[in-house]
Amino acid sequence: MTSRTDSLLRPPATARRAPAPARDLAALMAAAARGDEDAFARLYSALAPPVYGIALRTLRNPSHAEEVAQEVLLEVWRTAAAYRPDRGAVLTWVLTIAHRRAVDRVRSARAAAERELRVALRDRPVTESVAEQAERLADVQQVRSALARLTGAQRESLVLAYYGGYSQSEIAGFLGVPLGTVKTRMRDGLRRLRVAFGDG
C-alpha cells in the first residue's frame, strides 16, 4: 500500500459514507486478486473507513484502530484470491476479518496487562481475571456458533448492521435488495439467535 492510500483510513468527520454497491466491490476484489494495484487502491478507498470504524469501536484507541485497519487491508490484498462471492459480500467478509483482528488485539493487550499485573504482584494468582476471560471466550464461541446456524443472507445483514454499523436502508442499497427484505432477514435472524441463546 502506498502513501496515497494512507490518508483514506479515517472516515470524513462530517458524514459517514454509504458503502459502495456490492457488485462494484466484488469486481474490484476480482481485479485485485489478479494483481491489479489500481483496483486495489479503489477497493482500499471504499473499505478503509468501515474497517477503521469497526476497529475503533472495538479498540477505542485511534492509533491501534489504524494499525488494525492497515493489517486487515494488507491481508485483503494478500488473500484477495481466497475471497468466495458465494459465501457473502466483500464488505461482510472484510468486516468479519476486521472484527476478529480487533478482538484479537483486545485479547492480546488484556493478556499483556494481566502478565504485567502478575509480575507486579509477584505471581499471585489472578483467578477472577482468568475466570472472566474464560467466560468471555465461551460467549464468543456461542455467538459464532449461533451465527453459523443462520442463513447466509440473515448473517450478512446482521454482520453489516452490528459489526459495520450500517442502517437497514444502507444495507438494502449495498446489497441491492428491497428495504423490506433486509428487515425480514434481520428480524428472522435475530429470532433464530434468541432461540439459540435460549431467550426465545
Query: For residues 98 and 69, is the Cβ–Cβ distance under 8 A?
Result: yes
CA distance 154 to 149: 10
Query: Residue 17: what pLDDT?
Result: 57
Section 88-112 average pLDDT: 85
Per-residue pLDDT at 129: 60
User: What is the pLDDT confidence band of residue 124, given thresholds at 50, 70 and 90?
Assistant: very low
Identify the residue with better confidence: 123 or 81: 81
Q: Do the Cβ atoms of 40 and 28 come closer than 8 Å?
A: yes
The pLDDT tens digits for 80-99 are 999 998 888 999 999 999 99
Q: State the pTM of this model.
A: 0.58
User: What DSSP assignment string belongs to 55-119?
Assistant: HHHHH--HHHHHHHHHHHHHHHHHHGGG--GGG--HHHHHHHHHHHHHHHHHHHHHHHHHHHHHH
CB-based contacts of 103-110 (< 8 A; 24+ apart in sequence): 103/58, 103/140, 105/58, 105/59, 105/64, 105/67, 105/68, 106/58, 106/59, 109/64
Highest mean pLDDT among 86-100, 108-122, 124-138, 141-155: 86-100
Identify the structural domains of the chain with CATH numbers, from first to last: 18-149 (1.10.1740.10)
Smallest CA-to-CA distance from 48 within 30, 72, 78 is with 72
Which residue did the predictor score with more confidence, 74 or 173?
A: 74
Residue 43 has pLDDT above 80, yes or no: yes
| Angstrom distances, CA of residue 196 to CA of 58, 188, 192 | 24, 12, 6
Res 13: pLDDT: 37
Lowest-pLDDT choice from 2-11, 137-146, 190-199? 2-11
For residues 46 and 25, the answer to whether their CB atoms sit within 8 Å is: yes
Looking at residues 21-42, what average pLDDT do you find?
92
Report the percent of the chain where pLDDT is more than 90.
32
